[in-house]
Structure 1
Amino acid sequence: MIYRTKITIDNDYHYQNNFSMLRAVMILTPSMTGIASPDPLQHAFKVKSAPHAGRGGSRPVFLEPQQWQQWWQQPSQASERALYIHIPFCRKRCSFCNFFENGTNPERISRYIKNLTEQLHIAADTPLAQSRGFNTVYVGGGTPTDISSDEVKQLGEAISRFPLVDNAEVTLEGRLNGFDDDKWHNATANGFNRFSFGVQSFDTQVRQAAGRFDDKDFLLNRLNQLSQHPSASIVIDLIFGLPGQTMDIWQQDLLAVIDSGVHGVDLYQLIGLSGTRIEHAREKGKILGTALSEFQADSQARANMYATGANHFESQNWQRLSSCHWRRDSRERSVYNSLAKSGIEILPFGAGAGGSIHGHGCMNARDLKQWHRAHDDMLPTEATATSAVALNPVQVPGMLMSPNPSASLDAIFKRGLDSGQLDLNLLQSPMALHLTPLFNAWRTNGLAELTQNQLTLTLAGRFWNVNMQTGLFEFLAENPLQPTANRPQTHSPHAIAS
Structure 2
Amino acid sequence: MNLELNNTDITGKHTPDPLRFAFDKKKGPHAGGMSKPVSAAEAQLKLQQALANGGEKGARCLYIHIPFCRVRCTYCNFFQYASSQKLIDQYFEALKQELRWKAEMTWTQAFPFQAVYIGGGTPTDLSAAQIKELGQLIRRHFPLTPDCEITLEGRINRFDDQKFESALEGGINRFSFGVQSFDSKVRRSAKRLNDGDEVLSRLQHFVSYDSAPIVIDLLYGLPYQTLDIWQKDLALYLESGAHGVDLYQLIEMQNLPMGRLVEQGKLPQPANTQTKASMYQMGVEFMAKHHQRRLSVNHWSCDNRERSIYNSLAKTSAQVMPLGAGAGGNINGVSSMQYRDMDQYIEAVNSKQFAAGMAFISAENAGLTNTIKAAFDRGVLSDRVLPNGLFNALMPLFEIWQRHGLVDVNHGYLSLTLAGQFWSVTLAQNLIQVISNNPNTIIKAA
TM-score range, shorter chain: over 0.9
Q: 1:328 aligns with which of 290, 302, 306?
A: 302
- Could you tell me which residue of structure 2 aligns to residue 43 of structure 1? 21
Separation (CA, whole Å) in 2 of partners of 1:304 and 1:337: 24
Q: Secondary structure at the match of 2:26?
A: coil
More helix by share: 2
Separation (CA, whole Å) in 1 of partners of 2:316 and 2:368: 9
1:476 pairs with 2:440: no
TM (norm. structure 2) is 0.95
- Could you tell me which residue of structure 1 aligns to residue 4 of structure 2? 27
- Could you tell me which residue of structure 1 aligns to residue 358 of structure 2? 399
Question: Unaligned 5+ residue runs, structure 1?
Answer: 1-23, 289-293, 379-393, 492-498
Amino acid at match of 1:27: E
Following superposition, the deviation at residue 69 of structure 1 comes to 4.5
Whether the aligned pair in 2 keeps the contact of 1:194 and 1:232 (CA below 8 Å) is yes
Following superposition, the deviation at residue 77 of structure 1 comes to 2.2
User: Greater shift after overlay, 472-481 or 361-370?
Assistant: 472-481
Backbone CA RMSD of aligned residues: 1.8
1:376 pairs with 2:354: no
Separation (CA, whole Å) in 1 of partners of 2:129 and 2:190: 30
Q: 1:342 aligns with which of 316, 321, 340?
A: 316
Amino acid at match of 1:56: M
Q: Secondary structure at the match of 1:219?
A: helix
Q: Secondary structure at the match of 1:302?
A: helix
Separation (CA, whole Å) in 2 of partners of 1:80 and 1:479: 28
Question: Where does 1:86-125 land on structure 2 (aligned, <5 Å)?
Answer: 86-125=65-104
Following superposition, the deviation at residue 54 of structure 1 comes to 1.6
User: Greater shift after overlay, 42-51 or 118-127?
Assistant: 118-127
- Could you tell me which residue of structure 2 aligns to residue 7 of structure 1? none
Q: 1:310 aligns with which of 266, 269, 284?
A: 284
1:193 pairs with 2:193: no
Separation (CA, whole Å) in 2 of partners of 1:435 and 1:421: 15
Separation (CA, whole Å) in 2 of partners of 1:478 and 1:73: 33
- Could you tell me which residue of structure 2 aligns to residue 212 of structure 1? 192
Amino acid at match of 1:311: E
User: Greater shift after overlay, 60-69 or 214-223?
Assistant: 60-69
Q: 1:259 to 1:42 in 2, by over 3 A?
A: same
Question: Where does 1:172-251 land on structure 2 (aligned, <5 Å)?
Answer: 172-251=152-231
Q: 1:441 to 1:116 in 2, by over 3 A?
A: same
Whether the aligned pair in 1 keeps the contact of 2:262 and 2:269 (CA below 8 Å) is no
Q: 1:80 aligns with which of 59, 63, 77?
A: 59
Q: 1:299 aligns with which of 273, 281, 284?
A: 273
Whether the aligned pair in 1 keeps the contact of 2:4 and 2:10 (CA below 8 Å) is no
Whether the aligned pair in 2 keeps the contact of 1:101 and 1:366 (CA below 8 Å) is yes
Amino acid at match of 2:322: P
Following superposition, the deviation at residue 126 of structure 1 comes to 2.8
Separation (CA, whole Å) in 1 of partners of 2:384 and 2:331: 29
1:53 pairs with 2:27: no
Deviations 1:82-137 (CA, angstroms, capped at 9, x unpaired): 10000001100111112211110000000111111122122223332111100000
- Could you tell me which residue of structure 1 aligns to residue 129 of structure 2? 150
Separation (CA, whole Å) in 1 of partners of 2:135 and 2:2: 56
Whether the aligned pair in 1 keeps the contact of 2:34 and 2:362 (CA below 8 Å) is no
Following superposition, the deviation at residue 471 of structure 1 comes to 1.6
Deviations 1:463-491 (CA, angstroms, capped at 9, x unpaired): 01111112212323444543656xxx6x9
Q: Secondary structure at the match of 2:199?
A: helix
1:279 pairs with 2:259: yes
Q: Which has the larger radius of gyration?
A: 1
- Could you tell me which residue of structure 2 aligns to residue 17 of structure 1? none
Separation (CA, whole Å) in 1 of partners of 2:145 and 2:320: 15
Identity score, percent: 42
Whether the aligned pair in 2 keeps the contact of 1:137 and 1:169 (CA below 8 Å) is yes
User: Greater shift after overlay, 30-39 or 61-70?
Assistant: 61-70
Q: Secondary structure at the match of 2:4?
A: strand
Separation (CA, whole Å) in 2 of partners of 1:49 and 1:26: 20
Amino acid at match of 2:66: I
Q: Secondary structure at the match of 1:425?
A: helix
Q: Secondary structure at the match of 1:369?
A: helix
Q: 1:26 to 1:339 in 2, by over 3 A?
A: closer
Q: 2:394 aligns with which of 416, 426, 435?
A: 435
Q: 1:414 to 1:68 in 2, by over 3 A?
A: closer
Deviations 1:384-439 (CA, angstroms, capped at 9, x unpaired): xxxxxxxxxx3114111113211111111101111111112111232112211111
Q: Secondary structure at the match of 1:27?
A: coil
Amino acid at match of 1:370: Q
Q: 1:81 to 1:478 in 2, by over 3 A?
A: closer
Q: 1:411 to 1:397 in 2, by over 3 A?
A: closer
Question: Where does 1:244-259 land on structure 2 (aligned, <5 Å)?
Answer: 244-259=224-239
Separation (CA, whole Å) in 2 of partners of 1:342 and 1:98: 21
Following superposition, the deviation at residue 63 of structure 1 comes to 3.2
Separation (CA, whole Å) in 2 of partners of 1:465 and 1:167: 29
Amino acid at match of 1:334: S
Residue correspondences, number: 443
User: Greater shift after overlay, 48-57 or 69-78?
Assistant: 69-78
Following superposition, the deviation at residue 315 of structure 1 comes to 1.0
Q: 2:421 aligns with which of 456, 462, 472?
A: 462
Amino acid at match of 2:191: G
Separation (CA, whole Å) in 2 of partners of 1:68 and 1:420: 34
TM (norm. structure 1) is 0.85
Q: 1:115 to 1:478 in 2, by over 3 A?
A: closer
- Could you tell me which residue of structure 2 aligns to residue 135 of structure 1? 114
Separation (CA, whole Å) in 2 of partners of 1:365 and 1:413: 29
- Could you tell me which residue of structure 2 aligns to residue 268 of structure 1? 248
